[in-house]
């Protein structure tokens, strides 16, 4: 506080003007000496099948209810075409995993094209690439099958392919066909399969596990949709955490059963997901790991730890009842790591992956501090830890909570802990320094975090997340990894909001949220050493962190407020830089469609004697990359 009474009237007035002029000015000086090592894995993704982000989302198979896997399956998403009817058939199973098939009944005297259509997951995206359809057919048939992709409003044809098919009534025969497509303007497209009604009049045909795929990311069979995968790839993330509530399930029978998600899709029964819909498990263990490898992401594999979320079932398992669950996990890890001489390593090789998967981190359970899991977690964690660590001593093992009352004491040396943080903006900002004085001997994974009190990420929330992330990066010697959650959202079927990236089935429908751009800005501009920063101002409303990689420096800033802020950043020896700014004067500004989004803007900046001067707009996030 300045005591103006001790100054002359003129000097007091000059001092007042000086204070007013500098009230929104921040000067930072970045040290070029020393610093703390920053985790190379800091920014990444967390994935579970929620919001139809797997089936209907990044997983490329486009037909909904395609295998009728749900025990209560009906003809949802299917409709008959022409003079025919369809029904779910249980007398002609395709496999033990796919016991229900689609029966096409064609009445006597039928003519013209008859068959069925599928509406996909609230539409089918047709992106103009080469598509592939696969199905099994049983019945007396020797004629052409026609597959079309056709507009549901107006009948515009985006693909058509007729090809000969010969089948018999004794067993199912598999057929695969590829065909070019014309890009559709939206997702209002149906998949249609028809035959000549006159050729099958008075009989029935049975179809099993119909599939439709576009060209996939990295051309992987049973892979990812490119337009969603490419969006994630552009973040340049470092890890993929595979887990979430879908790992645990609502009881032990609806958990993610790793061994039922591998191999040919006709041998995958799927499971009831934790988020209200049935999962096909076409996106299974190997597909998740191919995803990680193709994006150069370090996978964190979460394993089932004897506890499920719902009130049904028999969990938590403790004592001797844990033994079969530990055995199951050890089989899973042998599948991941074993060579071809082992039972499960050989199985992995037969499924198309000869070499072991490159996994260095395993998380034991998921959120075991919630839903009654805490009381038994110390015992369950210890049993799984001992078994895994004995067989694979080089693995980093992660506890699914940081709550001391849920963990064994002492925690085994080298164990990481997982902290999840869904919060309102002001609290996230208040948590900027929450790791400043944490125990440096216990590394952290921030497995899930985001603002959680709105439907769509907006600027206020995204800036608050940036402030929280700045605190994580300042402490990235102990905070090793952090992933926003949830990652993806099909707008038509959403169980959790907000989400990082939203989409519909239009091939151009990707909606990158303001939070997506914050994640991208922070991830693509990373140093390996956190540098000391001195300032003439305290943190708030402007927050910052600085890092370096070789001769390049990165200064990340967030302005959590409605006033513009003049910022001077001094880095000795620096001459030029790029300034990237995400900002909007409206704290409620949000990207709810792909048109005119709030997006980062780049500009070139030059230093004067090593100092960069620029303005941070209201509600903004910025990165200065200097060299």
**Exposure class string for 454-474: b at 16+ Cβ within 10 A, else e:** eebbbbbbbbbbbbbbbbbbb
**DSSP states along 572-602:** TT--EEEEEEEE-S-TT-B--SSSS----EE
Whether residue 10 is predicted with pLDDT greater than 80 in this model: the reply is no
Query: Are residue 84 and residue 221 in the same domain, yes or no?
Result: no
Q: Which residues pair with 164 in a beta bridge?
A: 144
Is 53 in contact with 592 (CB distance < 8 Å)? no
- 436 and 376 share a domain? yes
Question: Measured between alpha carbons, how far is 186 from 189 in angstroms, rounded to an integer?
Answer: 8
Query: What pLDDT does 15 receive?
Result: 35
Q: Is residue 340 part of a domain?
A: yes
pLDDT (0 to 100) of residue 508? 84
Please answer whether residues 260 and 315 qualify as being in contact, where contact means their C-beta atoms are separated by less than 8 angstroms: no
pLDDT tens by residue, 113-140: 999 999 999 999 999 999 999 999 999 9
Closest CA to 522 of 236, 287, 300: 236
What's the structural domain count of the chain?
A: 3
Q: What is the DSSP string of 332-386?
A: HHHHHH--TTSHHHHHHHHTT--SPP---EEEESS-TTSTT-HHHHHHHHHHHHH
Residue 311, pLDDT score: 76
Does residue 378 lie in a domain region?
yes
CATH classification of the domain holding 32: 2.60.40.1180
State the virtual CA torsion across 419, 422, 424, 430 in degrees, nearest 10. 10
CATH number of residue 280's parent domain: 3.20.20.80
pLDDT for 594: 79
Top pLDDT among 151 and 14 is at: 151
| Burial readout 302-337 (b: 16 or more C-beta within 10 A, e: otherwise) | bbbbbbbbeeebebbbeeeebeebbebbbbbbbbbb
* CATH number of 181's domain: 2.60.120.260
Q: Please enumerate in sequence order all residues whose Cβ is within 8 A of that of 359, keeping only pairs 6 or more positions apart, or say none.
A: 289, 299, 301, 336, 337, 395
Q: Please count the residues of the chain.
A: 627
How many of the other CB atoms lie within 10 Å of CB of 421?
18
For residue 392, report the phi and psi dihedrals to the nearest 5 degrees: -135, 75
User: Is the residue at 162 inside a domain?
Assistant: yes
C-alpha span between 41 and 298 (Å, rounded): 8
Spatial separation of the C-alpha atoms in residues 50 and 244, rounded to whole Å: 9
Across 267-274, average pLDDT: 98
What's the N-to-C CA distance of the chain in angstroms? 39
- pLDDT in the model for residue 428: 98
Mean pLDDT of the chain: 95
Which residue segment(s) compose the domain that 575 sits in? Answer: 25-40+529-626
Q: What is the pLDDT of residue 596?
A: 81
**Average of pLDDT values for 136-150?**
98
Q: Is residue 225 within 8 Å of 60, Cβ to Cβ?
A: yes
Is 253 a residue whose pLDDT tops 80? Answer: yes
The H-or-E segment that residue 29 falls in is strand 25-30
Whether residue 17 lies inside any domain: the answer is: no
Report the DSSP pairing between strands 601-606 and 529-531.
unpaired
Domain closes at, from 503, 524, 545: 524
Q: What is the CA radius of gyration of the chain?
A: 28
| pLDDT at 491 > cutoff 50 | yes
Domain check: are 381 and 511 in the same one? yes
State the burial class of residue 142 (Cβ atoms within 10 Å of its Cβ: 0-12, 13-18, 19+): exposed
pLDDT tens-digit readout, 545-604: 999 999 999 999 999 999 999 999 999 999 999 999 999 999 999 999 877 889 999 999
Residue 327 has pLDDT above 90, yes or no: yes
pLDDT over 90 percentage in the chain: 94
pLDDT band at residue 539, thresholds of 50, 70 and 90? very high
pLDDT of 16 reads 35
Instruction: Report yes or no on 19 lying in a domain.
Output: no
Residues 222 and 268 in one domain: yes
Is the pLDDT reported for residue 87 higher than 60? yes
Q: Is the pTM of this model over 0.85?
A: yes
- What pLDDT score was predicted for residue 120? 98
The SS3 of residue 544 is strand
Neighbours of 179 (CB within 10 A): 16
Give the model confidence (pLDDT) of 408-464 as tens digits: 999 999 999 999 999 999 999 999 999 999 999 999 999 999 999 999 999 999 999
The answer to whether residues 86 and 32 belong to one domain is no
Regarding whether 253 and 115 lie in a shared domain, the answer is no
Answer for the pair 299, 240: CB distance below 8 angstroms, yes or no. yes
Identify which of 75, 59, 71, 222 has the alpha carbon closest to the alpha carbon of residue 134.
222
Report whether 397 contacts 364 (CB < 8 A). Answer: yes
Range scoring the smallest mean pLDDT among 5-19, 155-169, 424-438, 494-508: 5-19
Does residue 430 belong to any structural domain of this protein? yes
pLDDT of residue 109: 96
Q: Are residues 304 and 338 in the same domain?
A: yes
Residues 416 and 296 in one domain: yes
Cβ neighbours for 19, distance < 8 A, ≥ 6 positions apart: 2
Distance of CA 464 to the CA centre of its chain: 21
Mark out the alpha helices in 408-449 (DSSP H runs): 425-430
Please indicate, yes or no, whether residues 226 and 205 belong to a single structural domain of this protein.
no
CA dist 215 and 221 (Å) reads 9
CA 395/CA 510 separation, integer angstroms: 36
3-class DSSP state of 230: helix
Domain assignment present for residue 73? The answer is: no
Q: How far is CA 235 from CA 45, 409, 496, 506, 523, in A?
A: 10, 38, 22, 22, 6
Res 5: pLDDT:
29
Q: Comparing C-alpha atoms, which of 257, 269, 260, 252 is closest to residue 310?
A: 252
DSSP code for 317: P
Identify the weakest region by mean pLDDT among 33-37, 114-118, 308-312. Answer: 308-312
Based on the fold, state whether residues 202 and 346 are members of the same structural domain: no
pLDDT in tens, 62-81: 999 999 999 999 999 999 99
What is the mean pLDDT of the segment spanning 524-528?
97
Same domain flag for 517 and 553: no
Report helix, strand or coil for 320: helix
CA 272 – CA 625 distance, rounded (Å): 47
Q: Phi-psi region for residue 409, left (φ > 0), alpha (ψ -120 to 50) or beta?
A: beta
For 386-404, the pLDDT digits (tens) are 999 999 999 999 999 999 9
Q: Is the peptide bond before 111 cis (omega within 30 degrees of 0)?
A: no
At 18, is the pLDDT very low, low, confident or very high (cuts 50, 70, 90)?
very low
Give me the helix-helix angle, 285-294 and 323-337, nearest 10°.
40
* Number of helical H runs and strand E runs in the chain: 11, 34
Q: Is the pLDDT of residue 261 over 80?
A: yes
Of 495, 524, 553, which residue constitutes the final position of a domain? 524
Whether 520 and 533 map to the same domain: the answer is no
Residue 66 within any structural domain of the chain: no
At which of 172, 197, 213 does a domain end? 213
178, pLDDT greater than 80? yes
């Amino acid at each position: 506080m300045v005591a103006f009474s001790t100054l002359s009237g003129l000097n007091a007035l000059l001092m007042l003007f000086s204070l007013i002029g500098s009230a929104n000015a921040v000067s930072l000086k970045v040290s070029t000496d020393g610093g703390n090592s920053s985790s190379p894995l800091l920014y990444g993704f967390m994935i579970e099948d929620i919001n139809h982000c797997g089936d209907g989302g990044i997983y490329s198979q486009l037909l909904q209810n395609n295998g009728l896997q749900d025990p209560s399956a009906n003809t949802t998403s299917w409709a008959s075409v022409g003079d025919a009817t369809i029904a779910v058939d249980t007398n002609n199973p395709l496999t033990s995993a796919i016991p229900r098939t689609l029966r096409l009944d064609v009445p006597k005297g039928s003519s013209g094209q008859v068959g069925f259509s599928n509406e996909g997951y609230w539409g089918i995206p047709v992106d103009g690439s080469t598509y592939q359809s696969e199905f099994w057919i049983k019945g007396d048939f020797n004629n052409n099958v026609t597959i079309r992709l056709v507009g549901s409003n107006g009948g515009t044809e985006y693909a058509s392919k007729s090809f000969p098919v010969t089948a018999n009534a004794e067993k199912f025969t598999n057929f695969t066909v590829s065909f070019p497509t014309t890009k559709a303007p939206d997702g209002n497209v149906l998949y249609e399969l028809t035959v000549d009604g006159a050729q099958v009049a008075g009989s029935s045909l049975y179809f099993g596990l119909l599939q439709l795929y576009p060209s996939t990311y990295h051309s992987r069979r049973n892979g990812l949709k490119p337009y969603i995968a490419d969006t994630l790839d552009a973040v340049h993330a470092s890890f993929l955490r595979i887990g979430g509530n879908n790992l645990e399930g609502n009881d032990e029978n609806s958990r993610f059963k790793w061994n039922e998600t591998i191999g040919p899709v006709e041998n995958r029964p799927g499971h009831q997901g934790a988020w209200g819909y049935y999962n096909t498990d076409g996106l299974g263990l190997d597909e998740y790991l191919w995803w990680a490898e193709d994006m150069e992401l370090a996978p964190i594999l979460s394993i089932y730890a004897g506890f499920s979320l719902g009130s049904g079932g028999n969990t938590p398992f403790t004592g001797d009842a844990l033994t079969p669950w530990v055995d199951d996990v050890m089989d899973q890890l042998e599948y991941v790591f074993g060579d071809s001489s082992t039972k499960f390593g050989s199985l992995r090789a037969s499924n198309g992956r000869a070499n072991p998967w490159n996994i260095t981190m395993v998380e034991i359970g998921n959120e075991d501090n919630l839903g009654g899991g805490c009381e038994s977690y110390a015992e369950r964690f210890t049993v799984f830890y001992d078994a895994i660590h004995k067989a694979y001593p080089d693995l980093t093992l992660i506890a699914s909570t940081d709550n001391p009352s849920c963990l064994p004491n002492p925690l085994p040396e080298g164990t990481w802990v997982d902290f999840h943080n869904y919060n309102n903006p002001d609290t996230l900002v208040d948590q900027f320094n929450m790791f400043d004085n944490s125990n440096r001997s216990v590394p952290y994974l921030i497995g899930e975090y985001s603002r959680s009190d709105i439907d769509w990420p907006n600027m206020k929330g995204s800036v608050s997340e940036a402030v929280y992330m700045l605190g994580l990066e300042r402490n990235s010697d102990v905070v090793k990894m952090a992933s926003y959650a949830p990652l993806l959202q099909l707008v038509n079927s959403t169980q959790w909001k907000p989400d990082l990236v939203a989409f519909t089935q239009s091939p151009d429908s990707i909606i990158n949220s303001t939070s997506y751009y914050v994640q991208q800005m922070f991830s693509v501009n990373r140093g390996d050493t956190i540098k000391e920063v001195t300032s003439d101002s305290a943190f708030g409303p402007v927050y910052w962190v600085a890092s370096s990689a070789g001769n390049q420096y990165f200064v990340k800033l967030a302005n959590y407020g409605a006033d513009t802020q003049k910022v001077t950043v001094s880095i000795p020896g620096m001459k030029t830089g790029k300034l990237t700014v995400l900002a909007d004067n409206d704290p409620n500004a949000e990207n709810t469609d792909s048109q005119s989004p709030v997006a980062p803007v780049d500009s070139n900046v030059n230093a004067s004697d090593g100092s960069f001067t620029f303005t941070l707009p209201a509600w903004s996030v910025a990165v200065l990359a200097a060299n």
